[in-house]
Amino acid sequence: MTSFDIPEALVRAEIDEAALRDNAAALASQLAPARLKCVVKANAYGHGVDIVAPALFAAGRREFCVATIPEALELRSLLGPEAEILAWLYGPTTDLDEAVRAGIELGVSTVASLDRLAAAAQRTGTTARLHLKIDTGLGRNGLAPDALVRAFEWLRRAAEDGCPDIRVVGIMSHFAVADEPERPETAAQSAVFSSAHGQLRAVLDAADGRLGDSEALDVHIANSPGALTLGPCPGTSARVGLALYGLSPLEGTDSEALGLRPALRLLSTVINLKDIPAGHGASYGLTFTAATDTRFALVPGGYGDGLPRAASNRAEVAIRGRRYPVVGRIAMDQMIIDIGAGNEDVAIGDEVVIFGPGGPSAAEWGIWADTINYEIVTQLSARVHRCVRNDGTDVTEGGGR
């Protein structure tokens, strides 16, 4: 029986820093000579950026990626000036000054963003460092072919005008189906990306170094699936998110097969037990009715904590190493577990592994909720208390996010 150190932490996520370090080391080795960029967007995929980023930084990782500028600025405050931080998602009215001043490298997906970055650099007296983002087929953000031509024209004019405030330090894109290695679109995207890279190099060379060094460009298109399925890794670096946390981005392939360890265990505790007669219902809507006499265990954890309601009557949890079904609808704060009639093996106060080592996987919860493991971990709410597990036994407090 395990009790929580923090009485109010009814649902908590334990983060294994050793697993994070080991995953990063394994991925970096596999990617070499390309470099590992650690993606810590969306609160480090739900794991807690204030735990994950410092742990990776302490392990020697220096390259980090997030999506938004607020995420980037938070990361800068956590890690200090030595971290290289890239962000790429911002709107047409987003204030870029603070990001430029903080040395955040920014992805550029529109020609208008070049104007805005140049203006921010001039206002702040800081050189803006940018990565041209190319739409090679995913159809999301990024410079489409006509916009790319105009971006190159903008850069040529900037070089002619002696613009000293812009440095092109990278070129980037994003694979769409690298998790399905047999599909031809990945090779097609790579070809488009390679062509754009060549054109950018020519533009920079013609500018005689005024806008950046073509030989030193950071070239990155691979995500977790690309990093794991393509060899050698294309480009000079890869932006790795899900795999960094020990979760598999490949359908039909688990973490162990990839040499990775899940870094997160989502835990709760049994807070009530009751004997239920045959015919008794469970939770809202009474979507489950006990066919025989049984015993219910009440476990904190619901969609208010980020658990998917769609997994109702399908999910399982583990108590003392044994799996039990979730019955009835998952509510905002709690769920009902059917442990079977006369079960004396489960007691109030017992630890419940909702997912992670020792229980079901995030991927299984994804199947039960008709979604993917990415969504299962990233939707964990702020109410879930994050803490650090270093060696599988000792738990210390993290930042609490």
Cross-strand bridge partners of residue 298: 272, 336
80 Cβ partners below 8 Å, 6+ apart? none
- The one catalytic residue in 41, 45, 90, 374 is 41
23-30, long-range: CB within 8 Å, 24+ apart, which pairs?
23/243, 23/244, 23/245, 23/246, 23/260, 23/261, 23/263, 24/56, 24/59, 24/61, 24/244, 25/59, 26/259, 26/260, 27/227, 27/240, 27/243, 27/244, 27/260, 30/227, 30/228, 30/233
Burial environment of residue 59 by CB neighbours within 10 A (0 to 12, 13 to 18, 19 or more): middle
Q: Is 37 a catalytic residue?
A: no
Q: Does 245 participate in catalysis according to the annotation?
A: no
Report the C-alpha dihedral over residues 151, 155, 157, 159, rounded to 10 degrees.
Answer: 180
What the block records as the tokens of 290 is 């006990």
Sign of the C-alpha dihedral computed for residues 355, 340, 328 and 332 taken in this order: negative
Q: Can you tell me the distance from the alpha carbon of 5 to that of 15, in angstroms, rounded to the nearest whole number?
A: 15
C-beta separation of 171 from 196 below 8 A: yes
Catalytic amino acids?
41, 284
